């Protein structure tokens, strides 16, 4: 892959300071794109060297035209609150999330953006599924306001394409993990477990540890986003995951194996917004774009430990 593959392309990344945003910006820059970043904060400013940064709060309905103008592609990675907290005040999320996103689409069509790539949530839009792995055509019955909002934004993307020919792609992302995921936000069970293991504190397990998720290394996530950026076929909604389910207990056991010692555990009450099992069927994106997950799980887990151990 040429380091100048995306030379001449201007990409706007909304939520550029976050975990996925930081990784995505670096990959886009490495492929020669001009990258504009937008977000509330940059926890890792050095990692975003070369990104044209604009600070702002998406939820406050500010004038987005000034940041969208001149960009070919817009990556929308702003997720609002987490699934669990979203259920505490669903009304807040509607305004902060759906309304802001529709305002964004309005601006994108006015500015002639070529495509909006939206990071949706493969872990929440389906809800409690019958049988894993879940294909894109499964029923969508979220059990969190977070999931409803992601789904609603998907519907508005489809509407804007229908009404205004604004092209889009949706990536229904599994549970990403890896470098730049911090353990402080209660999102990212891998980061949380690794961090506790490294500092020698008991790892926290919600429920009985059988909650099962589809974990994908962020390098694979970013490759999937670039694959969809290159793609010009007919599909628009893609699951992005490993296709493999791992429980929290599995992760703890793997960490114990890597560290060569048992970890102390603290069990906490189960969370209402957590579906028991979420594993994605990723046949569609594989068939359509040729993308496949490449980082083996234990390699990815090692990489995450290494990165986290280097943080101050």
Among 7, 163, 298, 302, binds its own copies (CB under 8 A): 163
DSSP class of residue 81 equals: S
Annotated catalytic residue 146 = yes
Minimum CB distance to its own copies, residue 110 (Å): 13
**Strand pairing class (168-173; 115-121):** parallel
Given a contact cutoff of 8 angstroms between Cβ atoms, the answer to whether 72 and 116 are in contact is no
Given a contact cutoff of 8 angstroms between Cβ atoms, the answer to whether 74 and 108 are in contact is yes
CA angle, residues 52, 56, 60, in degrees to nearest 5: 150
Is residue 292 a contact point for its own copies (CB under 8 A)? no
Q: Which of 38, 146, 168, 231 is catalytic?
A: 146
Length of the chain: 312
Minimum CB distance to its own copies, residue 187 (Å): 19
Site string for its own copies, 239-278 (x = CB under 8 A): ---------------------------------x------
Residue (252 or 275) nearer to its own copies, CB = 275
Burial of 163: CB neighbours in 10 Å, binned 0-12, 13-18, 19+: exposed
Among 7, 65, 159, 309, binds its own copies (CB under 8 A): 159
Residue (143 or 263) nearer to its own copies, CB = 143
* Largest CA-CA distance found in the chain, in angstroms, rounded: 58
For residue 132, cis peptide bond before it (omega within 30 degrees of 0): no
Q: Which residues are catalytic?
A: 146
User: Applying CB under 8 A, which residues contact its own copies?
Assistant: 87, 90-91, 94-95, 98-99, 102-103, 106, 137, 139, 141-145, 148, 151-152, 155-156, 158-159, 162-163, 272
């Amino acid at each position: 892959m040429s380091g100048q593959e995306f030379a001449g392309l201007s990409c706007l990344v909304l939520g550029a300071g976050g975990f996925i945003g930081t990784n995505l910006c670096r990959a886009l820059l490495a492929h020669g794109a001009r990258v504009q970043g937008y977000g509330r904060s940059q926890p890792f400013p050095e990692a975003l060297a070369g990104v044209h940064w604009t600070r702002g709060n998406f939820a406050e309905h500010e004038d987005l035209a000034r940041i969208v103008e001149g960009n070919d592609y817009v990556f929308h990675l702003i997720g609002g609150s987490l699934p669990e907290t979203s259920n505490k005040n669903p009304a807040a999320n509607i305004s902060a999330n759906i309304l802001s996103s529709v305002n964004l689409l309005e601006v994108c069509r006015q500015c002639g953006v070529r495509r909006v790539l939206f990071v949706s949530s493969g872990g929440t839009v389906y809800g409690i599924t019958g049988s894993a792995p879940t294909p894109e055509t499964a029923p969508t019955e979220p059990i969190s306001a977070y999931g409803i909002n992601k789904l609603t934004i998907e519907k508005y993307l489809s509407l804007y394409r229908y009404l205004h020919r604004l092209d889009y792609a949706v990536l229904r992302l599994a549970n990403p993990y890896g470098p730049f995921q911090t353990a402080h936000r209660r999102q990212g069970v891998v980061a949380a477990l690794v961090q506790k293991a490294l500092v020698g504190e008991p790892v926290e397990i919600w429920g009985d540890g059988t909650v099962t998720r589809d974990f994908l290394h962020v390098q694979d996530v970013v490759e999937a986003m670039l694959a969809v950026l290159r793609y010009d076929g007919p599909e628009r909604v893609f699951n992005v995951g490993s296709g493999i389910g791992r429980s929290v207990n599995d992760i703890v056991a793997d960490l114990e194996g890597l560290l060569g010692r048992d970890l102390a555990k603290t069990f906490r009450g189960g969370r209402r917004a957590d579906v028991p099992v979420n594993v994605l069927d990723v046949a569609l994106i594989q068939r359509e774009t040729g993308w496949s997950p490449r980082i083996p799980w234990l390699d990815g887990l090692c990489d995450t430990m290494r990165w986290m151990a280097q943080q101050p």
